[in-house]
Amino acid sequence: MSKVLALINSDHRSVRWGTVIFSLLVGAALWESVGWSFNQAIMAPLIGGADHPGTIPRLYKYIVHDEEYRLSLLQSVQLFSTGFALAVVFSVPLGIIMARLATLRVALESYILVLYVTPMIALIPFILSILGFDFWPKVLVVFLFAFFPILYNTLEGARSVKPELLEVAKSFRSSEVAIWFDVLIPYTLPYTLTGIRQAAGRALVGMVAAEFFLATSGLGEELITASRNFDMAGVLATILVITGLGITFMRIAQAFEQKYSAWRGVNR
Amino acid sequence: MSVDLNADGPADGQSDRSARIEINSIGKRYGDLQVFQDINLDFNEREIVTIVGPSGCGKTTLLRCIDGLLPVSEGEIRIEGELMTTPREGVAMVFQHFGLFPWKTVFQNVGYGLKLAGASKAEIAEKVPYFINLVGLDGFDSSFPYQLSGGMQQRCGLARALAMEPSVLLMDEPFAAVDAQTREILQFELLRIWDMRPMTMIFVTHSIEEAVLMGDRVVVLKGRPSSVFEIIDVNLPAPRDRSTLAHPRFSELREHVWGTLMDEVRAAEFDVN
């Protein structure tokens, strides 16, 4: 009995990966059987067959054979990257400046708190009526979804900079610019990257929402079209694509996070 | 430590790296709290002065005022005749908390001050290894602080200050955060380095033994608000090493300072504030 327990709880690679693969196979089998037991207009299986178009074959068709779909994917990635990049570019410096200037922080804090907890999706009708249907209003939606988690985490990080380190910088006659590069940015970076990881998921929601509610485009449009045609395999395939994007972005952010928090060492 | 005592540094020990510091009736207040008052001190060139006092007596605050990190509330501090208001060139500080940048390697930490002072890459590449070697950290150039023991971290902090080739070295309880054995090793290391590169050193400590061992003079702070109670000429034979600890004069001075501070230390222990 204890041997079985030890095996189950062992940290060994083979046990861990075996568990992951087994769990995924069970999930896939469940999906497959649910897919087969419903009408194809309600639910599509993973692999499928006659009368039950599968999600994986559809995904393959989309990515490999469908020029238009690839364009949609590109559109979405463009929208996401633009909004996300702008969010990073604006939120990080603002976060650090706010940590350095107490007055500015006090002035803006309540707005940030309010906007941080406001479901951004509720602002979409406003953005629509004020800015219309272009590319840039959609970018704004993605921007708003991503901006606040990054700002919030950056601010928290920059505020928690050890006063001892600022004292050292002062003692060594550092300029403010040098303080940013030697102390504030390196110290804040791990916090910012945590914010970026959180923001990636939210920005993805923003991307799909923007493509739904403003001029439909990209993966959002693919999703709506497939759903109108009761093409559940298409819907699920697109959802997998979006999920894939999300996982990719988060992995990238995580890799950066690990790289730039290495100095925290064992004291993490 | 494998350091050649005759090693020639980027600047040799003969150049004028010492300064005369005058402290004229300074005081420091935080609101209603008077930390110290009416302190008058002179520090000579190439002299080690230790400042000792019970915890909370404001000795660390005094040191920060001398470095220009904190403004004084009354009086003035002059270094080479110049009024001290903000950290200045030629004064470097070693911190109790080490104050190393955890994301910088030993090399980058030691080169930090030089880089800020506008030293060229070549200059940094020449000087930094010398000071890393001087404090006995050879081979750890690319280690990060978290990979080093407390003693090694403070060696790095010391090298960072020494790399500025200061005429005044301010030591803020530098060995208070390391274990007792390491502390003893570092004390003698510091004395050895000072022999090679003498400069004005103001050394703040709460350890009476350390104060007597390291100082040419010992300044005893006492009272609330504190002020200078006594200045003791130590007059122990040089060089100071382990044998100094067994010297009768050493025990005599230690007991003397202890007697002076005992009441204060007791009071501080029972001070619930």
Q: What residues does each domain of chain B span?
A: 21-90+168-269
Pairwise CA distance, residues B272 & A242, whole Å: 61
| B208: Cα within 13 Å, side-chain hemisphere | 18
Spell out which residues of chain B touch residue A173, defining contact as CB-CB under 8 Å: 87-89, 116-117
Give me the count of residues in chain B: 273
Q: Over 70: is that where the pLDDT of B8 sits?
A: no
- How far is A241 from chain B, CA to nearest CA, in Å? 37
SS (H, E, C) A113-142: HHHHHCCHHHHHHHHHHHHCCCHHHHHHHH
User: Does the beta-carbon distance from A171 to B87 stay under 8 Å?
Assistant: yes
Q: State the maximum Cα–Cα separation within chain A, in Å, rounded to a whole number.
A: 76
> Which residue of B116, B124, B148, B156 to mutate against A (max A Cβ within 10 Å)?
B116
DSSP state of B129: H
Mention every residue, 6+ apart, whose C-beta is less than 8 A from residue A186. Answer: A260, A263, B101, B103
- How far is B83 from chain A, CA to nearest CA, in Å? 16
Task: Identify any residues that bridge with B201 across adjacent strands, giving them in sequence order.
Answer: B48, B169
- Number of other residues whose CB lies within 10 A of the CB of residue A128: 16
Mention every residue, 6+ apart, whose C-beta is less than 8 A from residue B100. Answer: B109, B145, B153, B156, B157, B160
CATH for A61-267? Answer: 1.10.3720.10
Pairwise CA distance, residues A163 & B228, whole Å: 29
User: Does the beta-carbon distance from A182 to B112 stay under 8 Å?
Assistant: yes
User: Any CB–CB contact under 8 A between A163 and chain B?
Assistant: no
Question: Could you tell me the two tokens for B167?
Answer: 């005429």
Record: fold of B21-90+168-269: Rossmann fold (3.40.50)
Question: Could you tell me the two tokens for B84?
Answer: 């001290």
User: Does the beta-carbon distance from B146 to A170 stay under 8 Å?
Assistant: no
Domain locations in chain A as residue ranges: 2-37, 61-267
User: Does the beta-carbon distance from A264 to B101 stay under 8 Å?
Assistant: no
- Number of other residues whose CB lies within 10 A of the CB of residue B233: 10
- How far is A168 from chain B, CA to nearest CA, in Å? 6
Q: Which of residues 206-265 of A touch B (CB under 8 A)?
A: 262-265
Pairwise CA distance, residues A144 & A151, whole Å: 11
Question: Could you tell me the two tokens for A144?
Answer: 């708003």
User: Does the beta-carbon distance from A172 to B69 stay under 8 Å?
Assistant: no
Parallel/antiparallel/unpaired status of strands B74-79 and B82-83: antiparallel
Per-residue model confidence as pLDDT tens for chain A (268 residues): 788 888 777 778 888 888 899 999 999 999 999 988 888 888 888 888 878 888 898 999 998 888 999 999 999 999 999 999 999 999 999 999 999 998 999 999 898 888 888 888 888 888 888 887 788 999 999 999 999 999 999 999 999 999 999 999 999 999 999 999 999 999 999 999 999 999 999 999 999 999 988 888 889 999 999 989 988 999 999 999 999 999 998 888 888 888 888 777 654 4
Task: Identify any residues that bridge with B76 across adjacent strands, giving them in sequence order.
Answer: B24
pLDDT of residue B11: 44
User: Any CB–CB contact under 8 A between A187 and chain B?
Assistant: yes
Q: Over 60: is that where the pLDDT of B6 sits?
A: no
User: Any CB–CB contact under 8 A between A24 and chain B?
Assistant: no
Parallel/antiparallel/unpaired status of strands B200-205 and A48-49: unpaired
- How far is B255 from chain A, CA to nearest CA, in Å? 35
Question: A132 — alpha (psi -120 to 50), left (phi > 0) or beta?
Answer: left
Pairwise CA distance, residues A244 & A89, whole Å: 25
Parallel/antiparallel/unpaired status of strands B21-30 and B33-43: antiparallel
Average model confidence (pLDDT) across chain B: 86
Task: Identify any residues that bridge with B230 across adjacent strands, giving them in sequence order.
Answer: B220
Order the strands of the B168-172 sheet from edge to edge. Answer: B91-94, B168-172, B200-205, B48-52, B217-222, B227-233
User: Any CB–CB contact under 8 A between B242 and chain A?
Assistant: no
Using a 10 angstrom Cβ sphere, with 0-12 exposed, 13-18 middle and 19 or more buried, the burial of residue A225 is: middle
